[in-house]
Amino acid sequence: MRILGIESSCDECAAAVVEDGRRVLSSVVATQIERHRQYDGVVPEIASRLHVEWIQDVVHKALADAGQKLPDLDGIAVTVKPGLAGSLLVGLSFAKALARALDKPLVGVNHILAHLYAPLLSENLEYPFIGLIVSGGHTLICRADGFDDITVLGTTIDDAVGEAFDKVAKHYGFGYPGGVAIDRLARSGDARACRFPVPNLYKGEHRYDVSYSGLKTAAIRQLDKFWNPDYPRTDQNIAAAFEKAAVDLLLSRLIRAIDDTGLRTVVAGGGVAANTYLRERLASRDDVRALFPPLALCGDNGAMIAGLGYRMLVRGDRDGPRLNVSPRVPSFRRLRSA
């Protein structure tokens, strides 16, 4: 079965054709990064307007790259949540029109579950495993028991991890997107230059939660307080120290979740999963099998939507003309602990 996947939840306009939920025949990602750079962040109205302009060409190219004729498609999958409402609506309306005109089945896909599906496009992986979704909008440590069966173990109680990278980078003028700029600078910096405070360890229900607003404030406003005077105050050192603090916090909760559940396979996804330090730290552990999707599938893309959409369509899921978008994720089941 060949499924067309359409993704327009944020600032990537993407489409892909995937066969049987595994074989990526094409994947086109048109990023709007350059158009938002001057604002140091995604401007929702600009994002949706660009999706309207671009989506037809992006879908057309995905079909052409796959050598796929529209009438021979077996179904259409589209991101419907979570994301920017105006952006999601562009992809959904386009997908609905296509499905209606071609009389093909349509299914709405959850973007977070799709990020967790991305590594399954290239690996044979058994459930259950631990999922780590880290991006500009999401910070999630979960247990995945099936392609749409996840239990949230931990999340952020304030800012998303990527958001913290972006805000610190914006403050210091490191570049956009902030995570990419910090990653690049940090490679030639020394994290010992600054020892940021570690947030209090949460207990019980918050055992696996993280918090980034304190670290963000410390990095922006309280550098003097935590700086080691033996080191020069360079962009590289600030980036390295911040990156280490942000990633170590995430890793401490992740390792806790791995140890508590005994599940030693971790699947990471989302833009921050491209971070060099995070990847190195996880890869260096003998007790954890860490799977990162190829870099092209870490960020937002249509292939993960088509892949997950295939599973849903095979199960019999169908959405009709009244399908709508949800900017926020309806809460996943959350693990209750003592």
Q: Minimum distance from CB of 182 to ligand KG4 (Å)?
A: 6
Burial of 221 (0-12, 13-18, 19+ CB in 10 A): exposed
Q: Minimum distance from CB of 321 to ligand KG4 (Å)?
A: 27
- Residue selected from 54, 94, 147, 165 as contacting ligand KG4 according to rule CB under 6 A: 165
- Residue selected from 16, 17, 218, 272 as contacting ligand KG4 according to rule CB under 6 A: 272
**Count of beta carbons in the 10 Å neighbourhood of residue 8:** 36
91 binds ligand KG4 (CB under 6 A): no
- Using CB under 6 A as the binding rule, the residues of this chain from 298 to 317 that contact ligand KG4 are 299-300
Report whether 263 contacts 130 (CB < 8 A): yes
Q: Which two tokens stand for residue 67?
A: 């050598």
94 binds ligand KG4 (CB under 6 A): no
Residue nearest to Zn ion (CB): 300
Q: Minimum distance from CB of 100 to ligand KG4 (Å)?
A: 28
Q: How far out from the chain centre does Cα 207 lie?
A: 22
- Residue selected from 154, 271, 302, 307 as contacting ligand KG4 according to rule CB under 6 A: 271
The label of the residue with tokens 């003097």 reads 224
- Using CB under 6 A as the binding rule, the residues of this chain from 173 to 192 that contact ligand KG4 are 177-180, 183
Binding mask 107-146 for ligand KG4 (x = CB under 6 A): ----------------------------xxx---------
**Quick one: 135 or 236, whose CB is closer to Zn ion?**
135
- Please count the residues of this chain forming the interface with Zn ion, following the rule CB under 5 A: 2
- What does the alpha-carbon distance between residue 179 and residue 169 come to, in Å, rounded to a whole number? 7
Binding mask 195-234 for Zn ion (x = CB under 5 A): ----------------------------------------
- Residue selected from 183, 235, 300, 319 as contacting Zn ion according to rule CB under 5 A: 300
Q: Minimum distance from CB of 292 to Zn ion (Å)?
A: 14
135 binds Zn ion (CB under 5 A): yes
The label of the residue with tokens 């105006």 reads 86
**Quick one: 191 or 297, whose CB is closer to Zn ion?**
297
> Of the ranges 14-22, 92-100, 264-272, 284-292, which one interacts with ligand KG4 (CB under 6 A)?
264-272
- What does the alpha-carbon distance between residue 310 and residue 1 come to, in Å, rounded to a whole number? 8
Q: Minimum distance from CB of 115 to ligand KG4 (Å)?
A: 7
Q: Minimum distance from CB of 274 to ligand KG4 (Å)?
A: 4
Tell me which residue of 266, 251, 247 sits closest to 182, measured CA to CA: 247
- What does the binding site for Zn ion look like in residue numbers (CB under 5 A)? 135, 300
- What does the binding site for ligand KG4 look like in residue numbers (CB under 6 A)? 10, 135-137, 162, 165-166, 177-180, 183, 270-272, 274-275, 299-300
